[in-house]
Amino acid sequence: MISFENTEIAFKSKSNKSLKRAYLLFKIIGNPTMVKIGKVATNTALNLRLPIQGLIKKTIFAQFCGGETIADCKNTIELLGQYGVGTILDYSVEGKTSEEDFDKTVNEIISTIETASKSKNIPFAVFKVSGISRFSILEKANLHADSLNENEKIEYEGIVARINKICNAAFEKNIPVFIDAEESWIQNTIDRITHQMMLIYNKHRAIVYNTVQLYRHDRLVFLEDAINESRLKGYHYGVKLVRGAYMEKERARAKEKGYPSPIQPDKVSSDNDFDKALDLVIRNIDIGAVCAGSHNEKSSLFLTELIKNNKLEKSDKRIYFAQLLGMSEHISYNLSDAGYNVAKYVPYGPVKEVMPYLLRRADENTSVAGQTNRELSLITKEKRRRGI
């Protein structure tokens, strides 16, 4: 059985300097007061245009991002590739609202697909539907696309056209593309359009992957239905499985608006459904493909066991593990060392514009205290081993 304890393998791509930087960062991130102060100070400094971008670039940005442009990410892509870990270029600019900006983002995503098609180290592309559309339209269309007025319908069709442009480029270049999962009040819209795309592009293999969040109590049934439908209609079902990133927000909104929370009652229920979803997809791998987007050691181990028990190859390209850059190196590198397919999301974009992403990483590591402690204890172990 694979072990995630080997820190020599886990951090083999890290120089002493970057290991020390990671240690310091996780120490700071693990302290809620420091994160609070850091967030206010960073936002204020950026708004006042104080010259702190250099500092951000050398610290938190260097840990969690590949660079400001695709070209900047070259070193990261090569370094990961050297150890058998793939890159998924994630253009992490958020909060845009104009049609012009959305079109620019679409072109940027298509550039990631073109870059992937020329590199053996980039197995997938990825995008967020909210990054190329107005949130309020996605929200309004969530119940049914028919609830939109004439102008909104035109805008909605524009969104479908943009997504189709990306998926078509992915199909033409033979680079599978993940469509990220987002808040439940826009997710029906995302699921609906993703389904449309799968019908077009997944006839022979999974090019378009939906994302299923198992912190939602209704998603296992959703996944089962989706797989059954794809079998019935004869297309491949590609799916990225995640637990889900918007738990607090989901619960707070449900409480505020007085509807039942879509989130599981507890962590164990999310964990159980995540592993059941892995099992379900592996049992249907003949018409599917899966990426386990997780930093959870047990679930990652469970997937290795499923691969073995179902007599599949570790290197079967239909099965991938994925983590975020700068996190859970012990999972990524030990899995890759053992022969499994692994890739990292490599976020990139101008420093100021990827700040929301970086602040979420800080929040996530602060709220999931166990995760930060685990990162710190592994880095400490490796520092000791190296005698630094």
Interface segment toward ligand FAD; rule CB under 6 A; list 116-124, 219-227, 266-274, 305-313? 266-274
> Helix, strand or coil for residue 231?
helix
Q: What's the burial of 104, exposed, middle or buried (CB within 10 Å: 0-12/13-18/19+)?
A: middle
Q: Which residue reads 């400490």 in tokens?
A: 380
Select from 242, 278, 319, 355 the one that contacts ligand FAD (CB under 6 A). 242
Query: Rg of the chain over CA atoms, in angstroms?
Result: 20
Interface segment toward ligand FAD; rule CB under 6 A; list 17-25, 56-64, 77-85, 322-330: 322-330
Which letter does DSSP use for residue 47 in this model? H
Is 65:56 a contact under the CB 8 Å cutoff?
no
Listed ranges 18-26, 73-81, 163-171, 317-325: which one lies at the site for ligand FAD (CB under 6 A): 317-325
Stretch that binds ligand FAD, among 26-34, 93-101, 243-251, 311-319 (CB under 6 A): 243-251
CB 13 within 8 A of CB 315: no
Residue identified by tokens 């929040």 is 363
| E runs forming strands in 168-318 | 177-179, 208-213, 237-242, 288-293
Binding residue (CB under 6 A) for ligand FAD from 63, 230, 270, 332: 270
Give the DSSP letter string of 254-271.
Answer: HHHHTS--SB-SSHHHHH
Residue number, 155 or 362, with CB nearest to ligand FAD: 362
Shortest distance (Å) from residue 243 CB to ligand FAD: 3
Residue indicated by tokens 């499994």: 340
Encode 149-183 in three state secondary structure. CHHHHHHHHHHHHHHHHHHHHHHHHCCCEEECCCC
Give the residue, chosen from 244, 288, 347, 349, that forms a contact with ligand FAD under the rule CB under 6 A. 244
Nearest to 77 by CA among 363, 345, 333: 345
120: exposed, middle or buried (C-beta count within 10 Å: 0-12, 13-18, 19+)? exposed
Helices (H) and strands (E) in the chain, counts: 17, 8
* Shortest Å, Cβ 271 to ligand FAD: 7
Please select the residue that binds ligand FAD; options are 243, 318, 330, 361, rule is CB under 6 A.
243
Interface characters, 274-313, with ligand FAD (x: CB under 6 A): -------------------xxxx-----------------
Q: Is 65 in the site for ligand FAD (CB under 6 A)?
A: no
* CB nearer to ligand FAD: pick between 89 and 181: 181
Residue from 304, 380, 277 nearest 3 by CA: 304
Please say which residue, 155 or 349, places its beta carbon nearer to ligand FAD.
Answer: 349
For the CB of residue 298, give the shortest distance to ligand FAD in the complex, in Å.
Answer: 8
Distance CA 312, CA 387 (A): 40
CB of 337 to ligand FAD, least distance (A): 19
Please tell me whether residue 247 binds ligand FAD under the rule CB under 6 A: yes
213 binds ligand FAD (CB under 6 A): yes
215 sits near ligand FAD (criterion: CB under 6 A): yes
Q: CA geometry: angle at 276 spanning 270 and 279, to 5°?
A: 145
Site string for ligand FAD, 149-188 (x = CB under 6 A): -------------------------------xx-------
Interaction with ligand FAD in 99-158: which residues (CB under 6 A)? none
The CB-of-207 to ligand FAD minimum distance in angstroms stands at 17
Task: Give the residues lining the site for ligand FAD (CB under 6 A).
Answer: 180-181, 211, 213, 215, 242-247, 263-264, 266-267, 270, 293-296, 322-324, 345, 368, 371
